[in-house]
Amino acid sequence: MNRRAVIDFESAYQRWKGTARRGNGDNLLIVDLGHSSIKALLAKIGPSGEVTVLDYASSYNLGFSDGAVTDSNRFAATVDRAITDLRRRNGVRSKRLQVSISAPFISYFSHFTTVKVPTRGRVTQRMVDNAVGRAREEISSLVEHVMQVVPVRYSLDTVYSGSEPPLGQRGEQLGIEIIFVTAPLSALDQIEKTLKSCGYNVSSWSYSGLSSALSVLGKNIEAGVAVVDLGSNSTDVAVYAHGRLLHLGVIASGGRDFDSDLAIFLNESMAVAEDVKQNFGCALPQVIRYNEVIDLKERGLGVEKLISAREIATVLRDRAQELLYAVGQEISKGLAPELLSRVILTGGCAKLAGLPELAEIVLDRNVEVGHPRAVNGTRMGFSDPGCAALVGTLRLLRKRILANRRMETSGMTAFEKLRCWFSALVGAPVPEGRELI
């Protein structure tokens, strides 16, 4: 008999409960609420943490701006259109949503808490979760609503310090540094009520700027790195160094401002300006010939107008420079400029031609475009920077689910674990009351 099969009690326990896990409990319906579009992802987390992406959908967002519902009927219809077909195609009945969002009203602060480890005891996942719960109680009087909790650094006496919990290690005092992402309760309530009106419930919230960073970053973040998520109406900045998150920031400017400047220059609608930006936009005028002209009607935009490609690039460059200067100031709030080694641009606006090169000039650092990485080795079929927040939320939820499973199995006796392993081999059914968390 394979030795790995004998000792891997946790996976065996999950297989033992497979009957319950074939239902909606496995499915994650993740929604990224952006200013210009709503993206939805349906994924499944397997017994050993393997990820299967089942489907993806996107819809132009109406009735939603700056993280707030401006027209509840149009917003509800937009969400329903993005999600209903996705659920129907895959036979998913669950209407529980994991929602990712960015808005100017989102803020954060850091808090450090400690908890004593029982005598001769080891650190467990339950102990870590209790410490996080204690920290939430400690800061409850300081904030209106905690949207997301992000443990960034763990310590155990003087023997351990790192970004992963020291599970199984012995010590006397466990310390956790936590970043709390906060938002006004009224703003989130407004979104939840609108979603509930079309039958959906929000299971969890996450900050899309942080999700995007998790999506594009690798494990090696010892050197200073900033992830800049260029969204439609806002730009999110996450700064990392020494293996930990140092700073989060939101800039109230994004791709929509490029469209607005271009619409004024062209004397056309925002829709035409956005099409021009996406099809012919460039943030480096110097790489475009002086005599290059774009015929909008010939290019299928339905407008009889000849425009200079270099002038379009100049408009876009001026707006990009202003935004990048603001990004540099936001980065410096979390990390000294000399400690910053590289900047990663992601989000839909990161696809603008010439923007990475311009960012290298303005920020004086190496700049690259970040694409969503595979989750647990699973290729998801898309790597568009605009999907970074969606994929990052999936990574975050997978980590949370695996932590819950570890906590559940850690409370089992050796006999129960052995019973689970044996039941997994013979295909025994799941006893009543043993559903997955």
Q: Tell me: the pLDDT tens digits for 13-37?
A: 444 444 334 444 468 899 998 888 8
Centre a 10 Å sphere on the Cβ of residue 266 and count the other Cβ atoms it contains.
18
DSSP letters spanning 121-141: -B--HHHHHHHHHHHHHHHTT
pLDDT band at 419 (very low <50, low <70, confident <90, very high): low
Per-residue confidence (pLDDT) for residue 220, from 0 to 100: 65
Q: How far apart are the first and last CA of the chain?
A: 30
The model's pLDDT over 316-354, given as tens digits with 9 standing for 90+, comes to 999 999 999 999 999 999 888 888 999 999 998 999 999
Q: Which helix (H) or strand (E) holds 32?
A: strand 27-33
Confidence of residue 100 (pLDDT cuts 50, 70, 90): very high
Q: What is the pLDDT of residues 163-211, one digit of tens each?
A: 888 888 888 889 999 999 998 888 889 899 999 988 899 999 999 999 9
State the architecture of 107-182 in CATH terms: 2-Layer Sandwich (3.30)
The CATH number that domain 3-103+186-202+375-426 falls under is 3.30.420.40
Helix (H) or strand (E) holding 277: helix 270-280
Specify which of 292-306, 357-371, 396-410 reaches the highest per-range mean pLDDT.
357-371
The pLDDT value given to residue 379 = 54
Cα–Cα distance measured from residue 144 to residue 136, given in angstroms and rounded to the nearest whole number: 12
Q: Give the mean model confidence (pLDDT) for residues 125-154.
A: 86
Q: Where do you find CATH 3.30.1490.110 in the chain?
A: 107-182
Distant-in-sequence, close-in-space partners of 304: CB < 8 Å, separation ≥ 6: 296, 297
* CA contacts within 13 A on the Cβ side of 225: 21
d(C-alpha 233, C-alpha 347), whole Å: 11
Kindly state the DSSP code that residue 94 receives in the 8-state scheme: -
At residue 333, the pLDDT reads 92
Q: How confident is the model at residue 79 (pLDDT cuts 50, 70, 90)?
A: confident
Task: Determine the pLDDT at residue 11.
Answer: 45
Distance of CA 142 to the CA centre of its chain: 25
Question: Does the pLDDT value for residue 437 go beyond 90?
Answer: no
- Name the residue with tokens 């460039």: 282
Q: CATH 3.30.420.40 in the chain: give the residue spans.
A: 3-103+186-202+375-426, 219-369
- Please check the confidence at residue 433 and state whether its pLDDT lies above 70: no
Q: CB within 8 A of 29, min separation 6: which ones?
A: 40, 41, 42, 83, 86, 87, 92, 94, 95, 96, 97, 98
Proportion of the chain above pLDDT 90, given as a percent: 29
Q: DSSP letter for 282, please.
A: B
Calculated CA dihedral for residues 113, 212, 54, 424, nearest 10 degrees: -30
Lowest mean pLDDT among 68-72, 91-95, 136-140, 375-379: 375-379
Quote the CATH superfamily of domain 219-369.
ATPase, nucleotide binding domain (3.30.420.40)
Give the integer Cα–Cα distance in Å for 246 and 223: 12
Render the burial of 190-206: b for 16+ CB within 10 Å, e for the rest: bbbebbeebebeeebbb
